[in-house]
Amino acid sequence: MSAENPEAEEVVAKSNLSEMREMSKKAAWSVSSCKPGNGVHLLRDDNIDTYWQSDGAQPHLVNIQFQRKVKLQLLVLYVDYKHDESYTPNKISIRVGNGFRDLK
């Protein structure tokens, strides 16, 4: 957890992680584009040395779709500016909705 975001650290500290379930396997993951060999599967492979890399114009999108509504309490993203400053996002937007047309 980044020391630059004490609010996020506080949320994690207050969360009872033992009572939470890992939900990413229940979702369909897709991306706006990817370079060959750097596809969506690398977002979830638990290896910080691998990564998804977009191959298209901005914005670069990661879409996570569940079959039914779910309540997420915690979303964890690993980004490493020191490792790759040219491709690390400087802004991340998280939007939710019932479908692509009503994301807020």
Task: Please check whether residue 32 is in contact with residue 10, taking contact to mean a CB–CB distance below 8 angstroms.
Answer: no
**pTM attached to this predicted model:** 0.75
Domain boundaries, the chain: 1-97
Specify the pLDDT at position 62.
Answer: 94
Q: In the CATH scheme, what architecture does the domain 1-97 have? A: Sandwich (2.60)
**Residue 102 confidence (pLDDT) above 60:** yes
Measured CA to CA, the distance from residue 12 to residue 95 in angstroms comes to 20
Q: Among residues 14, 20, 19, which one has the least CA distance to residue 72?
A: 20
Q: pLDDT tens, 27-81?
A: 999 999 999 999 999 998 989 888 888 998 999 999 999 999 998 888 888 888 7
Specify the pLDDT at position 46.
Answer: 87
97 CB-near residues (< 8 Å, 6+ apart): 103, 104
